[in-house]
Amino acid sequence: MAVSFLARDVSDLCLGKPPLRSLSTAATIADALAVLKNSDESFISVWLCCEHEKEKEQCRCVGKVCMVDVICYLCKEDNLLSPSSALNQPISVILPKDCSLVVHLQPSSSLLEAIDLILQGAQNLVVPILTTKRSGVSRRKQHLKASSTINSHNGCEFCWLTQEDVIRFLLGSIGVFTPLPALSLDSLGIISSDVLAIDYFSPASSAVGAISKSLTQQTSVAILDSDGTFIGEISPFTLGSCDETVVAAIATLSAGDLMAYIDCGGPPEDLVRVVKARLKEKSLEKMLQEFTILSSCESLHAAFSSSSDEESPTRTMTRSGRYSRSSSYSARMVRKAEAIVCHPKSSLIAVMIQAIAHRVNYLWVIEDDCSLVGIVTFSNMLKVFREHLETM
């Protein structure tokens, strides 16, 4: 029964998925930044199109970029001094070098094939969207008019599947894998002790390499105190809810203060003052002045300017990191910087539900005294499901 279940086509997982927003490899980082700020998606696909003499133009998704890619790039010393010049560089500069992170897959491929690709390192599976008569061509055209970044390639549109999509699908038929879902994390041996971590008082700038690595691993960077107690995290997911001006905070604050700064409630005023003062000390005020690209950089400028008393209580930070007087967030989802944790004795199904509910690909595993045990990821979970099939 389980084998027939996993033999289902990946097209089943694509139902209702929106078409990919995309950029050409010829685009600049500024182009990507503009699209990310106006998109409901955390990642934008990047495509390379080649023309052949006897063939039609062939296009292929060669990677993906997100706000964290832009932020980590701007944190480089040379780019801090001239951010506008850095943003004019080609998007290929921030594309992950590992081409296996994004893999094309046919709609007729089995779910088992999809799981195997993910276990081999793929993060996103690019799948053509099957157009049915019911969906209608005119409806697709409306989508295209709604956003110039939703493009068809090779005569069709594409969506992509993620680890979360597969875990969610498995959860819908979890009974097939009984008794596996009821077993604890430690009994399954899926807690990884190989984690990315930084001391609470260390400069946030020293964590940029770990943040970039955690983005590739789809994990996060743990923040620990001197005793190794788990304090919190610097999550690419939360960091991606900010805009590019958060680079100023990374360049000037400690890891612990950055954790508070990127909370979706908006940076505390005292930290804003600290950032401003330290930017002056480092002669980096020009960085703030140049962060006015595409007329959407308001986060630090609004905070650094003298706010009236009636404005302060009503400010919220939207998904792009910009302040708004509205009580609602933008379409792009944000969450608090609070880390999502579980216990070594937590059951597999409980952790799956917890991760999906919080839209994260991992959970930190801690003991009752808050000491860090390790991390459990969707990839770890999929590996267990895959191994379990071989025993059935």
How far, in Å, are 27, 29, 256, 326 from residue 89 at the CA level? 9, 6, 31, 34
Predicted model pTM: 0.83
* Same topology between domain 1-131+150-161 and domain 187-298+335-391: yes
- Predicted confidence at residue 230, as pLDDT, reads 96
Q: Which residue carries 């999929």 as its tokens?
A: 382
Going from N- to C-terminal start, the domains of the chain cover 1-131+150-161, 187-298+335-391
**CA Rg, the chain, in Å?**
22
Q: Where are the beta strands (DSSP E) in 26-99?
A: 43-50, 58-66
Q: DSSP 3-state assignment of 38?
A: coil
Tokens representing 311 are 């404005």
pLDDT of residue 134: 43
Which CATH code fits 1-131+150-161?
A: 3.10.580.10
Please give the Cα distance from 152 to 157 (Å, whole number): 4
CA 76 to chain centre: 20
Signed CA dihedral, 136, 139, 145, 151: sign only: negative
- Yes or no: domain 187-298+335-391 corresponds to CATH 3.10.580.10: yes
Instruction: Give, for all 392 residues of the chain, the pLDDT tens digit.
Output: 555 665 688 999 998 898 998 999 999 999 999 999 888 788 999 999 876 545 556 889 999 999 999 999 999 999 988 888 999 999 999 998 888 899 999 999 999 899 999 999 999 999 998 775 444 443 444 444 444 455 666 678 999 999 999 999 999 889 889 999 999 999 999 999 999 999 999 999 999 999 999 999 999 999 999 998 999 999 999 999 888 889 999 999 999 999 999 876 678 889 888 988 888 888 876 676 654 333 233 444 444 444 444 443 333 333 333 333 222 223 334 445 579 999 999 999 999 999 999 999 999 999 999 999 999 999 999 999 999 877 76
Strands in 51-206 per DSSP E: 58-66, 102-104, 124-128, 158-162, 196-199
What is the distance of C-alpha 306 from the center of its chain?
33
